[in-house]
Amino acid sequence: MKGIINIAYPESLANSLRLSEKEFESEMKTSSLVKLFELGKVSSGVAARVLGLSRVDFLELLSKYHVSVFGAYDTDDLNDDLANA
């Protein structure tokens, strides 16, 4: 992978979440990709690849964050698709 993002944060932030530095950084990476998926900015396949997961594992992970597997696909779109099926 080419891109690296460095984010400065106080040690107390990871400590307040009772996470090690490595666990906190992993959580930041995961939650960022989940949010990008939720907003429709990245596909589940791209997010899974960046996280080193299968697409199915990424989709299962979304429930931990209370994010729909449909991402930015809103209920109006879903209802339209069902009506046209």
What is the rounded CA–CA span in Å between residue 82 and residue 17? 42
Give the CA count within 13 Å in the CB-facing half-sphere of 63.
Answer: 4
**Are residues 38 and 67 in contact, defined by beta-carbon separation less than 8 angstroms?**
yes
In this structure, of 4-13, 29-38, 73-82, the range with the lowest mean pLDDT score is 73-82
Residue pLDDT, tens place only, 15-59: 999 999 999 999 999 999 999 999 999 999 999 999 999 999 999
What is the structure's pLDDT at 77? Answer: 67
Model confidence at 78: pLDDT above 90: no
pLDDT of residue 80: 75
- Kindly report the pTM of this predicted structure: 0.79
